Structure 1
Amino acid sequence: MVFVIGITSVSLLPLESICDLSPAFFVGLLKALIPSISMNIYVVGLNQLFDVEIDKVNKPNLPLASGEFSMGFGITIVSIFLLMLPLLRWKRNAFLAATCILIVRAIVVQLAFFLHIQKYVLGRPMVFTKSLVFAVAFMCLFSTVIALFKDIPDVDGDRDFGIQSFTVSLGQERVFWLCVSMLLMAYGAAMVIGASSPILLSKFVTVIGHCALASLLWLQARSVNLASKASVTSFYMFIWKASESISIGMMVLWK
């Protein structure tokens, strides 16, 4: 759901008026959403197929790890694709894994969907707006946080199976507070940029909204028990919901 909201939000950035919300826009949005959702399902499914033993330790509630889905059924879902899998297991290298997430989520997704709507749906010349630059910059920080934080609750399984994540190398607490600090920096930058908006409503919503999110993030972070996988996972989901859904949604107001 968060994935769909994020794509929809960045697709709204090229719109200049309410008149742009035409049937052509929604058809163009669906043309982008459907293959993207399919690719996302494939990537998640492929990851679970080859990490099933690790997931039995880190995420035992997943369909394959829990036994809800058989390996045969999982293979059927992704068997249409032929890949050199050993070459794609970038998660064994922390830098490559983080770089992949950063490039796809922060750059490819933002630019591709923005330009798809702007040029091929609305028929306008390609122009990189201030809101797009802000989106890419914000998502660079956010994607880096996701790349680092996702391994915090998985430290036991990653260590057992030789996955050299940053959490395994640096420790849970150090990576946790690094992620929190980076998110606070992102919210602080969003408030400064929002305050420069000439539109009063955009200025008010962006500044107050990100200030509220930063405060909530800090309060939630202080209550996290790093020894509890459930507590860390809950905070990870909070980051997804707050940072991508709400922040990118408010970002649309800033032009």
Structure 2
Amino acid sequence: MAQTQTLREVSSVNQRTRNKNQIGQTFGATLKDESALQPKDDNNKVTAQSDIWRKCDVFRRFCRLHSVTGTVTGVVSVSLLPLTSFGDLSPEFFVGMLKAVLPFVFLNIYVGTLNQLTDLDIDKKNKPHYVLASGEYSMGQGKAITAAIGIMGLGTGIIFGSPPLLYGTIIHFLVGTAYSVKLPYLRWKTKPFLAALGIGLHAFNFQLAVFCHIQKYVLGRPLVHPKSFYFVLIFFMLFATVLGVFKDIPDVAGDQAFGIQTYSVRHGKKKVFFICILVLLINYGFAVVTGAVLSSLLLSKLVTVVGHCSLASLLWRRAKSVNLDDDSAVESLYMFLWKLFTAEYVLIQFIR
């Protein structure tokens, strides 16, 4: 009996040990499964987030959203020109300024994306990193985005009910379309004079539309343009025209291959480069004289004279160091010109 009882106790102990081992194995397996699954969940989240950021980055590069900064700065700066006192900074003014920002931002993006659609083969040679040229977007996706943004630009110009904005957005749309689209008598970018004229007209139209919108339909004042505003029109029109010519300098190889007779193709990089820099320096000289004559306060005279002399000096120093055989260096200078263009929107506030 004692031996039988001992055997039963040993058997019971062994059973409890087996049960503990099974529980331990099951618990351990569960922990392993959880630890194996958890990184997968994290990886899925990281992958999803990365995919969203990638899509946002592709959209940003296709729409070239960095160029929107100049448009917004321009609208804000020109909107401030009609103001005569701090009392004009009312909620109605800021709403009116926002109404000017939206259509021109949309149309600025539209013109850029349309140009990529019509220049796909050229960009594959000149700018293979562009979204369409690299295949990150299909032509169908590019067309859909371009059409949607163009409609939003025209739509906001119509909905806001300001005649200057309406006419300004229509002209902006038509000139931007004529610049790129491949139709008879259009595709102005292949005709150097029309290309430069179209870009200069863009600047003239933009400044005039925004100023008239704020002056007449936001502040409710007669359309009287101060002398300083004529300076703004002339300066930016000349600067924009130079930008339109200069941008073709690093694209000579691709333009030659596709028979696009830009000024750089016809006359050579060096000559066009020299003329562009010379015109900009003359433009800055014009700004120095205008600021010294038209600015009523001594501080304003000093800011405009010193400011424009400083920008002209920076331009000259950068231009002297550029190797025209290095397309990336010329492209870098082109982007610097856009920074100078944007900086002018600050200085024009002192010419009053």
- 1:104 matched to which residue of 2? 202
The one-letter code sitting in structure 2 at the alignment partner of 1:192 is V
C-alpha displacement of 1:140: 2.2
CA distances 1:158-178 after superposition (whole Å, capped 9, x unpaired):
110010100000100100010
Distance in 1 of aligned mates of 2:102 and 2:237? 24
- 2:298 matched to which residue of 1? 200
The one-letter code sitting in structure 2 at the alignment partner of 1:194 is G
| Matched-pair contact (CA < 8 Å) for 2:118–2:182 | no
What pairs with 1:104-143 in structure 2 (closer than 5 Å)?
A: 104-105=202-203, 107-143=204-240
SS at match of 1:237: helix
The one-letter code sitting in structure 1 at the alignment partner of 2:219 is L
Instruction: Identify which of structures 1 and 2 has the higher relative contact order when contacts are C-alpha pairs closer than 8 Å and 6+ apart.
Output: 1
Q: Does 1:41 align with 2:139?
A: no
- 1:165 matched to which residue of 2? 262
Distance in 2 of aligned mates of 1:180 and 1:195? 23
Distance in 2 of aligned mates of 1:208 and 1:78? 42
| Matched-pair contact (CA < 8 Å) for 1:150–1:236 | yes
- 1:64 matched to which residue of 2? 132
The one-letter code sitting in structure 2 at the alignment partner of 1:144 is T
What pairs with 1:68-79 in structure 2 (closer than 5 Å)?
A: 68-79=136-147
- 2:93 matched to which residue of 1? 25
Distance in 1 of aligned mates of 2:319 and 2:339? 15
| Matched-pair contact (CA < 8 Å) for 1:6–1:245 | yes
Identity %: 53
Compute the RMSD of aligned alpha carbons: 1.5
- 2:351 matched to which residue of 1? 254
| Matched-pair contact (CA < 8 Å) for 1:5–1:245 | yes
Distance in 2 of aligned mates of 1:25 and 1:74? 35
- 2:122 matched to which residue of 1? 54
Count how many residue pairs are aligned between Structure 1 and Structure 2. Answer: 253
Distance in 1 of aligned mates of 2:266 and 2:350? 40
| Matched-pair contact (CA < 8 Å) for 2:196–2:242 | no
The one-letter code sitting in structure 1 at the alignment partner of 2:262 is S
Distance in 2 of aligned mates of 1:132 and 1:168? 35
SS at match of 2:350: coil
Give the structure-1-normalised TM-score.
Answer: 0.95
SS at match of 1:139: helix
C-alpha displacement of 1:85: 4.3
The one-letter code sitting in structure 1 at the alignment partner of 2:114 is L
| Matched-pair contact (CA < 8 Å) for 1:131–1:252 | no
| Matched-pair contact (CA < 8 Å) for 2:122–2:254 | yes
SS at match of 1:154: helix
Structure 2: unaligned runs, 5 residues or longer: 1-68, 152-176
CA distances 1:129-162 after superposition (whole Å, capped 9, x unpaired):
1121010110121022112101001111111001
C-alpha displacement of 1:78: 2.5
Distance in 2 of aligned mates of 1:22 and 1:176? 45
- 1:147 matched to which residue of 2? 244
Distance in 1 of aligned mates of 2:251 and 2:316? 22
CA distances 1:78-101 after superposition (whole Å, capped 9, x unpaired):
245698741431111111111111
Distance in 1 of aligned mates of 2:79 and 2:120? 35
- 1:234 matched to which residue of 2? 332
| Matched-pair contact (CA < 8 Å) for 1:149–1:175 | yes
Moved beyond 4 Å, runs of 4+:
80-85
- 2:79 matched to which residue of 1? 11
